[in-house]
Structures are given as C-alpha cells and as structure tokens.
Amino acid sequence: MTRIACIGECMVELVERADGLLARGFGGDTLNTAVYLARLGGSVDYLTALGDDAWSEEMLAAWRAEGVGADRVLRLPGRMPGLYLIQTDANGERRFSYWRDSAPARDLFRIAQTPALLDALASYDLIYFSGITLSLYGEDGRATFFTGLDRAKAGGARLAFDTNFRPRGWPDRDLARRAFGEALARADIALCSTEDLEMLFEQPARDALVPFGGIPELVLKEQTPGCQLVCDGTMVHVPADSIADVVDTTAAGDSFAAAYLWARTGGAPPPDAARAGHRLAGTVVRYPGAIIPRGAMPAFERWSCAR
C-alpha cells in the first residue's frame, strides 16, 4: 500500500453558529486531507508539531481514532496549538480569523528533532503539502523543508502540492510567489485552483502556470464546477455537478485532494480520480465544519490495480 505523509498544521477550530454560539473542533487544510484519506482507506501519517497541553492530547487521540498515523508528530513542552474561527455567509462562503503566531507547528523545521524528521520523509511514497504549509515556516524553515523534499524525491518519493493561498499568512506576495514557484517546480502532482493562482500571481491562472509547464500532473480547479487535467501532454475537462444546498465550503478543496490522491494511488486514471474528488467535495460542502460525520461519507469503489 502507498504510504502517504501529509505535512502542515492542525488548529483548534471554532465555528460560529447562527445563534452566535461557538462549536469547537479541530482542523487544518492538510490535516483535513489526511483524515479523508484515512477514511477512504489510505495509509497516511500526519507530520506536524504540537504542545504538551490537553488540546494537543485531544488532537492526537482524534487523529488516531480516524486512522491517521501520529508517530511523526513532534511535541514541544509548554506550547499550545493555534486557533481559528470560521464565519460563513448566507451562500456558505467562509471567512477565517487566526490566532496562531506562537503555534508549535511553525518550528517544525528548526528544532533539534528536525533532522530525524527529514530522514523519515524518505520512507514515504507520496508527500502532500500546501501553500498554507509553506506559510508556516519562514524562509530558513522553508529552505530546510525543501531540502528534505529534494532528498525524499531523489529516493523515489512523489510530491503533491496544493496551492491553498491565504494572503494573511504571508508578509508580502513576492515572498509567497517565490515559495509557490519552488513548490510547483518540484511537484509531481499540482492541485491548483484558479482562485488561488489569480489572487497570488495577479494574472490569469493559465498564464501564471506557464513557467511551470513541466509539471507531470496538473489539476486546475475552476471557479465554475469542474477542473482541467493536464497529464502526459493531454488536457481533459472534468465537470462537476452544481450543489444547490451548500452549507459550508470549508475543506471542499482538502477533501477533493484526498479523494483524488486516494484514487490515483489506487490506479485510477486522472479523470476518474477527479470525479472522485468532485463527489467527496460535493458531499463535504453540505455539512458545517471541516470534517463531516463518518456516516455521511459517500461510498467509492477501489480501483483494482496498484500504483
């Protein structure tokens, strides 16, 4: 079975309800993807840093209960995870507010345990990270992270990069553009959205991708339902059904990524993997919060050939 590492940050999640009360959970883009990958049957570990507080312990217990491996999670004494608040409008579009400047995940690639973690990356077949992952570490931390990815890739690992871009996570856009460029140049699979690319590069998404035309497998998610796939020089459009009863778009892209990568590692061709991604994302947006009830998960057939 393909071994997958998801790298990033999980935070305490507060969702503001219509009555003004708050519901607490946990979430983070790559963690959401890890949970959905595990629910689909993938072998996935989450790589991050947490504190030694009660919330960190609760997170670890929740991840393990979902089937997400947590043996690579580093613990920093005296620290606590970050926190974010989700507010949604009448159309289900979300707005995030963050309290995360001292979160332990930000130090993942600049502590004593970092070299061992970088060595461990080589044991995975697929490494998944996002634009939010890149925003965590600062320039020195990102350089160390990219060095680790290069070593893992030289050893046979494949890299999947998701262009989640949150402007508030970056001191300026030029820095973000350079970091995204380094990630796209390394990616074997790039999961991009036109919204992210156009917000970051301030030009049409396809123009922004021109310098990275050698990406082996590109998924370009469009603002209208559907995506464009570019793989082996072939472009295919895969439409998605419109969803009339959207409740919350949180984790729509994260769940798409999970189903897409799960299908691809199971041998599905890219168009079938995109359809799986659309189906899971279309279910997730019908529920509040990042992680839907387990009983709401759609059923998928597993592709027979191993990849």
Picking from 278, 274, 275, 269, the residue whose alpha carbon sits closest to that of residue 307 is 269
H helix or E strand, kind and range, residue 226: strand 226-231
Q: Which two tokens stand for residue 18?
A: 């219509």
User: What is the DSSP pairing of strand 43-47 with strand 234-239?
Assistant: unpaired
Distance CA 297, CA 280 (A): 8
The CB density around residue 120, as the number of other CB atoms within 10 Å, is 16
- 10 Å CB burial of residue 101 (0-12, 13-18, 19+) is exposed
Element housing 234 (H / E): strand 234-239
Alpha-carbon torsion 43, 49, 50, 52, what sign? positive
**Crossing angle of helices 252-265 and 29-39, rounded to 10°:** 40
Do 184 and 218 form a contact (C-beta atoms < 8 A)? Answer: no
Catalytic residue among 140, 188, 254, 272: 254
Residue with tokens 């159309």: 91
Active site residue 53: no
Reduce the DSSP state of residue 55 to 3 states and report it.
Answer: helix
What tokens appear for 198 in the block? 């156009």
Q: Choose among 202, 210, 166, 157: nearest CA to 184.
A: 210
Catalytic residue numbers, as ranges: 254
